[in-house]
Structure formats: C-alpha cells, structure tokens
Amino acid sequence: MKKDTATADRWQQVAQIYLAAVERDPVDREAFLREACVGDEGLRREVESLLCYEDGADALLERPAVALAAPMLDNSASSSLLVGRQIGPYTIVSWLGAGGMGEVYRARDTSLKRDVALKTLPQSLAMDPERLARFRREAEILASLNHPNIAAIYGLQDADAIKALVMELVEGEDLAARIARGPIPLEEALPIAKQIGEALDAAHQSGIIIAT
C-alpha cells in the first residue's frame, strides 16, 4: 500500500511539472525544469520523456529534423491522393494525420474485416536509404514491444512503390488536439501522464531510449 501511494504521489508530481512545462515556450522549458526538478534528475528525465513524446517523438524513435517533417505537413493536396487506394488487403478510407516520418491513414482490412492505421512513407523519402532504414527499424521496434499503451504493429506492406506500416488503430482525440483546447484538469491529466509514462517505461526496459 505504501508503495502504491508513493507511486501515485510521484506521478502526481510528474504530471504537475509536465503540465506547467508544456504551457511554456520551448525555449523557456529547460530553465523551468532545472528549477522545478532541482536535486532530482530522475524526476527531470521523466518529465522530459513526456515532453519529448508530446513534441512529436515518432513511435518511440528519435525526433526527425524539422526539415524532413516539413514536406509531409502540407496535406492539402497530397493527403487525399491515397484515399480509395488498395494496398495489399487494405483499402485506404481517410487521412488521419502527418508526422516526421510519414502520413497516417485509416484503412479497412478486407481480409479480417477490421479497421487499421496505415503509416505510409512518402516516395520522396522511400528513395532515401537512410530514411527507409529508419522506417524499417521503427517496425522492428514496435514489433518487439507488447504493452497496452503502445500501438501494436500488424506488419509491413510494399505495393505500387508505397511502403506502409500496418498498425493498430487507436480511436480517440489526439493529445495535441486536447492540449490545444485548453488546460487539462489534474484529474484528467494524471491518467494520461500515467499511461504515457508506463509506455515509456516499457520501452526503456526493452532498451529503447528516446533521444532528445
């Protein structure tokens, strides 16, 4: 019971500092964290891991360069090009979002009759051996993890020059969108921070470290 109480108190401390830090300008966060976590480097690392995840750490991998992310953030025209396409047994239904390593779509698995998430690597990056290697490495890392707070990977697809990760589709509002709507009450933030922290802990225990 004492251990459970200590863990809850720790997560409350992490969540409070995280919520205060995420509302600050990124250039001011380092100074804030030094002051808020003085004498507790473990606490600081936990908060920084959450901030790294929120800032767009891509599937527990290192954050990509801004220059690489920029072409994929323009979804006005290109994001709709794949809708309706068939990639293996998957029919792309709609665009969900974009990140530093690709675009994510909702797709229908016509074999197993379920919806999945397809993360596609743009052709401009698929021709880059380094980016392609990172994409495959992401698939290997996800396949090595088994945790309820980490999306499962079902496989890789390569069809018509389109390379895609087939992943579990997790329904719900994006955390970034939720934060954009306004401050998150502590009672809502604590479960979120706990789930993220548990996922990061599982990754760390598997030897996966997020580079900041």
Shared domain check, 44 and 130:
no
Shared domain check, 94 and 44:
no
Q: Which residues contact 15 (CB under 8 A, 6 or more apart)?
A: 186, 189, 190, 193, 194
Shared domain check, 34 and 104:
no
Looking at the DSSP bridge assignments, the partners of residue 120 are 103, 164
- CATH number for the domain harbouring residue 111: 3.30.200.20
How many distinct structural domains can be found in the chain? 2
Residue 181 CB burial class (10 angstroms; 0-12, 13-18, ≥19): exposed
Position 192, amino acid = I
Shared domain check, 13 and 93:
no
Shared domain check, 70 and 52:
no
In the predicted model, is pLDDT for residue 86 greater than 50? yes
Helix, strand, or coil (residue 157): strand
pLDDT value for 168: 92
Q: Please state the pTM of the whole predicted model.
A: 0.57
Q: Which residues contact 29 (CB under 8 A, 6 or more apart)?
A: 21, 51
d(CA 174, CA 54): 10
pLDDT value for 200: 85
**In this predicted model, what pLDDT tens digit does every residue of 188-209 receive, in sequence order?**
888 888 888 888 888 888 777 6
Nearest-5° Cα angle at 152, 149 to 158: 150
Shared domain check, 162 and 74:
yes
Exposure string of 70-104, with b = 16+ CB inside 10 Å and e = fewer, is: eebeeeeeebeebeebebbebbbeebbbbbbbbbb
**Where in the sequence is the domain holding 134, given as residue range(s)?**
66-168
Position 24, amino acid = R
In the predicted model, is pLDDT for residue 160 greater than 80? no
Shared domain check, 117 and 79:
yes
- Identify the band that residue 38 occupies on the pLDDT scale cut at 50, 70 and 90: confident
d(CA 106, CA 50): 26
Shared domain check, 76 and 48:
no
